[in-house]
Amino acid sequence: MTPARKSDAFGLLVLAGLVGLAIAFTHAEVRERLSGPGLREKAALVERLELTDLALFTDARYARHPSMADRHTPFQDGPLSMEHFPSGSLVLPPPHLRPR
């Protein structure tokens, strides 16, 4: 019996990756078909209730809906207070509130 070469191991790794990728795409297609009617119902509900933007974070009001924030909400504790929510450093203010 001949010893296994490194290229054989690499080929098996690539093959396993391709099989995993095919399984992932197949799973995504099946889930999309199964959840399609429910997603359409939710989209209709969102349109009927006129819901606002997606809530990106759960910590502060101005981080939950960045497009709905106003200039003073990050400083409710005081104008010189430090930002104590980590999400506040990840989201920029909406364009209409940025200095020009």
DSSP states along 5-67: PHHHHHHHHHHHHHHHHHHHHHHHHHHHHHHHHHHHHHHHHHHHHT--S----SS-HHHH-GG
**So where are the chain's domains?**
61-97
What was the pLDDT predicted at 14? 96
Per-residue pLDDT tens listing for the chain (100 residues): 566 788 899 999 999 999 999 999 999 999 989 988 888 898 898 889 887 666 666 666 555 555 555 555 555 555 566 666 666 667 666 677 677 7
